[in-house]
Amino acid sequence: MNLTSENILLIGSSLLIISILIGKSSSKFGVPILVLFLALGMIAGSDGIIGIHFDNPTIAQFIGVVSLNFILFSGGLETDWKTVRPVLWEGISLSTVGVLATALSLGLFIHLVTDFTLYEGLLLGAIVSSTDAAAVFSILRSKSIALKSNLRPTLELESGSNDPMAYVLTISFLSLVINPEKSIWEIIPVFLSQMIIGGLIGLLFGRLSKSIINMIKLGFEGLYPVMMIGIMFFVFSFADFLGGNGFLAIYIAAVYIGNQELIHKKSILKFFDGVAWLMQIVLFLTLGLLVFPSQLLPYLGIGILIALFQIIFARPIGVYLSLFPFKMKNRRRLFISWVGLRGAVPIVFATYPLIAGIDKAPAIFNIVFFISLLSVLLQGTTLGLFAKWLHVALPEKAKPKLPIDQIFEESTKTRMEEIEIKEGDYPVEKRIVDLGFPKGAIIAMIKRGENYITPNGYTEIKAGDILIVLSSDDKVIKDVYKSLSFKI
């Protein structure tokens, strides 16, 4: 079936609705939801029941890049700096040294057991060297896995920040495959410039974005997420234009933005959480459509062999080398090794050799598909079991709340406090967004004279105002007074 303007919306909306409905029930059977999206795309594809013909890696790559922008940006917005800071260097080491070690060890193995040249083996190793943010975020959340000793922030920091490293390695080794006369040392300056420029652009525009969002008044709350989308794509494309890594730039910018006080922050976080899920579904459906199951069979044996080596040897090598300088129990290193899920990102990166037209591109794409599928099926379905077996799991009630979890959680506010603001008090003439108000409390209403005002982040506090504050407990009320610079 060829997609036309008459049926594209019907087919697209049907696949989307079916994906969501199937995904809703998938957790009952222990099947990762992302695998079902991928399978549905394959069923709808050229070799499937519906027979939609889709064989355009350029379009698939574009959809993949757009989707990864939303997925990484949403993951960055949800990253709590307070929980990440204690494991920052472990996460950075995993996402750089770990990715490099995984790519090199797997690439060398592929070169030894196949007819791939060394550079072709390293290219394939680089493509599957990073953990997949979409897979890790969705599986950890859907399975409600609570982990000990900062393991969860370590894993989420790694999965959110290691795609840029894998991308740079993929592009670098691809250039060596296309131009084998080049020296491997020639890619080092390119690698360093990509990471440095991308990091600086992300930090700079993260700071600017906070000021832009908080200073302008758009009039409609729904425009703030739209503005954030524009900022996200600008940061990505501007970093790429300057020779930096756009994926790293948007992730760093999102982490900074997500940990600041913003106007309509809850709306922005909820919006990006929903769109990130949409992008995951669209991405996996698209990649499912791009795969031709009839072409996979010749690569079944070698694909499974490489996937098993990656899971059992290459990933642990990368983890142990990158975490060697840090004190950590072996069972925690083993669990981090097992959470090396590969998902859609490697399949997106595998479109780069297809577009470049190198000889081994079809083989690389199909082998990468096997690696990703086996990783999500084998590792994704057993995360909870391994967590209990390695004694790194916590009871559900001890699970720390992420920022997005706190927003979606409908907790009852059991404490109300009326706070009068007098002339000369710190909050006078300040906007609510600038007060650093604690997350566990809200200003539900402001009594100003005989009138009652429903406030938002732009609302300025006036002398004589009475703030009606709702909170869940006394401790948060104390934090409220501290944010207002009141002595208690």
Q: Is 351 exposed, middle or buried (0-12, 13-18, 19+ CB in 10 A)?
A: buried
**Distance (Å, whole) CA 486 – CA 416:** 17
Looking at residue 453, its pLDDT comes to: 85
Looking at residue 214, its pLDDT comes to: 83
pTM of the model: 0.79
Which segments of the chain belong to CATH 1.20.1530.20? 8-404
Which whole-number Å values give the CA distances from 137 to 34, 133, 143, 313, in the listed order?
11, 6, 10, 23
Asked whether the beta carbons of 197 and 242 are under 8 A apart, the reply is yes
The CATH homologous superfamily for domain 412-483 is Regulator of K+ conductance, C-terminal domain (3.30.70.1450)
Looking at residue 205, its pLDDT comes to: 94
Looking at residue 432, its pLDDT comes to: 83
CATH class of residue range 8-404: mainly alpha
Looking at residue 114, its pLDDT comes to: 93
**b/e code 7-32 from CB counts within 10 Å (16+ = b):** eeeeeeeebbebbeeebeebeeeebb
Looking at residue 411, its pLDDT comes to: 47
Q: Is 220 exposed, middle or buried (0-12, 13-18, 19+ CB in 10 A)?
A: exposed
Asked whether the beta carbons of 448 and 275 are under 8 A apart, the reply is no
Which segments of the chain belong to CATH 3.30.70.1450? 412-483
pLDDT tens by residue, the chain, 488 residues: 555 666 777 777 777 787 777 665 555 544 566 677 778 888 887 777 777 778 889 998 999 899 989 988 988 888 888 888 888 999 899 999 999 999 999 999 999 999 999 999 999 999 999 887 666 666 666 555 667 667 878 887 888 788 888 998 999 999 999 988 887 787 788 888 988 999 999 999 999 998 888 888 787 778 889 999 999 999 999 999 999 999 999 999 999 998 888 888 888 888 998 888 888 888 888 888 888 888 888 898 999 999 999 999 999 999 999 999 998 889 999 999 998 888 778 888 999 999 999 999 999 999 998 888 888 888 877 887 888 888 887 655 555 555 445 544 444 556 788 888 888 888 888 888 788 777 778 888 888 888 888 887 778 888 888 888 888 777 778 888 888 887 65
25 Cβ partners below 8 Å, 6+ apart? Answer: none
**Distance (Å, whole) CA 169 – CA 188:** 10
